[in-house]
Amino acid sequence: MVAAEAGVTRSTVSRALNAERDVSAATIAHVREVAARMGYVPNRAAKSLASARSMAIALVIPEPGVLALADPHLVAVMAGVSRRIEDSDYLLNLMVAGDSENAKIMRYLTSGVVDGVLVASQHSRHDALLHLHDLVPVVFSGRPTEVTDPPNYFIDVDNARAASVAANHLLSLGRRRIATITGPEDMAAAGDRTDGWRAALVAAGLPADLVGVGDWTALGGAAAMRALLEAHPDIDGVFAANDVMAAAAVSVLLDAGRSVPSDVAVVGFDDSSAALSARVPLTTMSQPSEHTGEQMADLLLRILAGEDVPISTVVESHLVRRASA
């Protein structure tokens, strides 16, 4: 460590640069001055090897790149995480994990380069992530697909309840043939929303038979809507599990000559930017996406600091009325 040319030993330099304690103020100032002048940057690998901490946190998005980043909810979660981590001492590593490189990522996450892991949007096919917490603290956004023995920390809305609220709103509008466009079947949040929608219809004495499986994307949502409409032209209400699919559904409906909301009322989920840029502004279930991200980061930071935190945190969701329903 060349900075020892400041007239002191490496230990002192280390202390001056990090601890701020057990060193005289004068030494601190001097060492820092010299370090700055020499453009010294501590080697992070050596640092974490010696201290057994990396001061880095990984945010894992287990989705093929492009897909994930087209989802405003996920992007907002990322922004929240990023903001909260920024003003901590930790550094954020964003990893968009396509299916292929899952093993690679797992190896990375367990190799000691990160002190904690944040997982957004977990699918059941990525169940390795569920057991990652044996080796490093993990916080999920969205209920994990499986309850593990030491349970996983997570932040989520009450998806089933929120979906029921959405379905009930459509019912209160007098709709009787209410379909749902779901998220991917291997995600807990998606399943919960479908369950909530079904419960509301059943409670109203209606059959819950109109289900189109989507995948959060506009393409998937449009395809589901088209199939639904063709098989059941009498549809008069749609609850889509996110705004992106809802917006796509609105497009399909309009193109098919139906008016929204008079012929078919549509409710989305997320209250994301997609809700406002849809051809008909969407009525939707709000979800504090960015706040969720901040909460995830905050929780992890606290776990890392040794605090005790609750396993699950429920964030609020409520109906936001706009033009589509």
Partner DNA sequence: TTGTAAGCGTTATCAG
Partner DNA sequence: CTGATAACGCTTACAA
Shortest Å, Cβ 86 to DNA = 21
Query: Among DNA, its own copies, none, what does residue 24 contact (CB within 5–8 Å per kind)?
Result: DNA
Q: Which is nearer to DNA, 13 or 224 (CB)?
A: 13
Cα separations in angstroms, 172 against 69, 240, 242: 35, 17, 21
Work out whether 89 is an interface residue with DNA (CB under 7 A).
Answer: no
Q: Which stretch binds its own copies (CB under 8 A): 79-87, 163-171, 173-181, 230-238?
A: 79-87
Residue in the block written with tokens 């979660």: 77
Among 17, 204, 211, 273, binds its own copies (CB under 8 A): 273
Shortest Å, Cβ 76 to its own copies = 7
Long-range contacts at 259-262 (CB < 8 A, ≥ 24 apart): 260/323, 260/324, 261/173, 261/323, 261/324, 261/325
Residue 244, CB half-sphere, CA atoms under 13 Å: how many? 18
Q: Which is nearer to its own copies, 128 or 213 (CB)?
A: 128
Query: Among DNA, its own copies, none, what does residue 76 contact (CB within 5–8 Å per kind)?
Result: its own copies
Residues with Cβ within 8 Å of 120's Cβ and at least 6 positions away in sequence, in order, are 59, 60, 61, 62, 74, 77, 78, 81, 140, 141, 142, 293, 296
Shortest Å, Cβ 252 to DNA = 53
Distance from chain centroid for Cα 118: 9
Query: Among DNA, its own copies, none, what does residue 83 contact (CB within 5–8 Å per kind)?
Result: its own copies
Among 29, 36, 38, 46, binds DNA (CB under 7 A): 46
E strand or H helix that includes residue 75:
helix 72-86
Q: Which is nearer to its own copies, 109 or 238 (CB)?
A: 109
Among 29, 36, 38, 49, binds DNA (CB under 7 A): 49
Residue in the block written with tokens 């504090």: 288
- Helix axes of 218-231 and 243-255: crossing angle, nearest 10 degrees: 50
Among 33, 38, 43, 64, binds DNA (CB under 7 A): 43
Q: In the range 48-67, which residues lie near its own copies by CB under 8 A?
A: 48-49, 54, 65-66
CB 145 within 8 Å of CB 121 = no
List 238's β-bridge partners, or say none. Answer: 179, 266
Residues with Cβ within 8 Å of 319's Cβ and at least 6 positions away in sequence, in order, are 165, 166, 169, 267, 283, 284, 285, 286
Shortest Å, Cβ 225 to its own copies = 16
Enumerate binding residues for its own copies (CB under 8 A). 41-46, 48-49, 54, 65-66, 69-70, 72, 75-76, 78-79, 82-83, 86-87, 91-96, 98, 100-101, 104, 107-108, 110-113, 218, 273, 277
